[in-house]
Amino acid sequence: MGEPRIIDTADLDDGVTIGDGSSIWHLSQVRSEAVLGQNVVVGRGAYIGEGVHVGDNCKIQNYALVYEPAKLEDG
């Protein structure tokens, strides 16, 4: 699996939890207290709101918007 891959143009707030093997792509935003499981892909320009939980093996498509209080089960 390995460490998460976070592209330098992604915008992550403090307090975000990112699981092993996950990828956060260009221009995406992940807000505080969001929890991303293992092997999650957050596509280019996607938005993950404050406190959102994304289960293991999920893919958030490019430019998708996931607002609080969403909880996505394992993919």
Question: How much is the mean pLDDT over the chain?
Answer: 98
Model pLDDT for residues 8-43, shown as the tens digit of each residue: 999 999 999 999 999 999 999 999 999 999 999 999
Q: Give the count of beta carbons closer than 10 Å to the beta carbon of residue 3.
A: 9
Contacting residues for 51 by C-beta, under 8 A, at least 6 apart: 31, 32, 33, 34, 68, 69
Instruction: Please report the pLDDT score of residue 1 as a whole number.
Output: 74
Q: Where are the domains of the chain?
A: 5-67
pLDDT of residue 60: 99
Top-tier CATH class for 5-67:
mainly beta
